[in-house]
């Protein structure tokens, strides 16, 4: 059973040991069907989008973003592997890598606090034309990585989740590459060990920085929420401009992982795909960009996304023939 405080389908593994039983038994939810995203608000009222809500994810539009010099983010411990233990798991909603021991911090970059990493997880689609939770200029990516941090003053993610600015999540988009990204091997090679919900596997020593883009200087910033129940509006979101490469064959291994959902005929676990929440109204919120982007460049980026989407569509058609 997933936890109510599962952040973007990810926090449940991290907080299971510290949450009281009453919170562990919160109502079941999923992405499709009668307990899907369109009905979360019935059991989790904060998930309902209103004219005053600050829900996530959102569509980030370059021409509507406000430039602000937020200064570089400091990533402490991100380049270390010794002394940091990770556990990979399947929580029924996502693939999650949880920090078991060690400390990784982010600060600077316009953050109001120091934030400590708790885990990272992924969102992806059944096909490569969708999968990311955030959209950039209306375009989706096939995979999105979220690194979840709690305010360093809080003892747990569950405590931080109900506090203003209690959480900071870093979002990274993936783009399809013709070759495998070997930096992802520690995750990709262990997906077969966590196929079913509840499966866990200790990871070999990994350096979190190796998973990320070379440049981390350009990013967007806005105030939002958890993207799964309970949808608490306590997240400082940072979505990075530069992408991470992944091959289609690597992405296909994510799609072989099973979700909590069961086939009504066979009772077998269903493939874990399309585990993303649709974008929510931005309302009166402001999205900041710590880099300057001309309107022409924004149009170019949007055009590239459209071209990539068309290419993927054509490839899928020919593959089916």
Residue 258 lies in a domain: yes
Residue 298 lies in a domain: no
Active site residues: 93
- The residue-averaged pLDDT of 241-264 equals 97
- The count of domains in the chain is 1
Residue 288 lies in a domain: yes
Q: Which of 132, 222, 212, 90 is nearest to 168 (CA)?
A: 222
pLDDT tens readout for residues 168-187: 999 999 999 999 999 999 99
CB 63 within 8 A of CB 295: yes
State the CATH number of the domain containing residue 60. Answer: 3.10.200.10
- The residue-averaged pLDDT of 181-196 equals 98
Residue 300 lies in a domain: no
- The residue-averaged pLDDT of 237-244 equals 99
> For residue 53, what pLDDT band results from cuts at 50, 70 and 90?
very high
Cα distance between residue 284 and residue 282, in whole Å: 6
Structure confidence at residue 84 (pLDDT)? 97
Structure confidence at residue 14 (pLDDT)? 39
Structure confidence at residue 159 (pLDDT)? 96
Residue 280 lies in a domain: yes
Q: Range of 115's domain?
A: 7-293
Residue 307 lies in a domain: no
CB 11 within 8 A of CB 3: yes
CB 88 within 8 A of CB 187: yes
Residue 305 lies in a domain: no
CA dist list (Å): 320 to 101, 146, 314, 315, 316? 46, 32, 10, 9, 6
Residue 1 lies in a domain: no
Cα distance between residue 180 and residue 194, in whole Å: 21
């Amino acid at each position: 059973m997933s936890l109510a405080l599962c952040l973007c389908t990810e926090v449940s593994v991290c907080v299971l040991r510290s949450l009281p039983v009453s919170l562990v038994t919160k109502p079941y939810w999923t992405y499709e069907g009668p307990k899907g995203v369109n009905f979360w608000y019935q059991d989790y009222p904060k998930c309902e989008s209103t004219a005053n809500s600050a829900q996530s994810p959102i569509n980030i539009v370059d021409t509507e973003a406000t430039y602000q010099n937020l200064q570089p983010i400091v990533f402490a411990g991100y380049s270390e592997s010794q002394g940091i233990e990770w556990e990979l798991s399947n929580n029924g909603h996502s693939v999650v890598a949880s920090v078991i021991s060690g400390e990784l911090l982010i600060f600077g970059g316009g953050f109001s606090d120091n934030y400590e990493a708790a885990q990272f997880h992924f969102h992806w689609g059944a096909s490569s034309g969708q999968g990311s939770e955030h959209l950039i200029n209306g375009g989706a990516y096939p995979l999105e990585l979220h690194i979840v941090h709690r305010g360093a003053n809080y003892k747990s993610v569950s405590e931080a989740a109900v506090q203003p600015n209690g959480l900071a999540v870093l979002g990274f988009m993936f783009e399809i590459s013709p070759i495998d990204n070997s930096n992802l091997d520690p995750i990709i090679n262990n997906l077969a060990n966590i196929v079913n919900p509840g499966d866990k596997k200790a990871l070999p020593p990994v350096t979190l920085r190796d998973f990320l883009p070379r440049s981390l200087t350009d990013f967007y910033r806005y105030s939002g929420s958890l993207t799964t129940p309970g949808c608490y509006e306590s997240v400082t979101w940072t979505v990075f401009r530069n992408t991470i490469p992944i091959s289609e064959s690597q992405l296909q291994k994510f799609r072989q992982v099973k979700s909590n959902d069961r086939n009504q005929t066979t009772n077998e676990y269903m493939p874990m795909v399309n585990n993303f929440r649709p974008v929510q109204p931005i309302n009166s919120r402001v999205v900041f960009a710590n880099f300057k982007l001309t309107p022409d460049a924004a149009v170019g980026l949007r055009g590239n996304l459209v071209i990539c989407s068309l290419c993927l569509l054509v490839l899928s058609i020919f593959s089916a023939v």
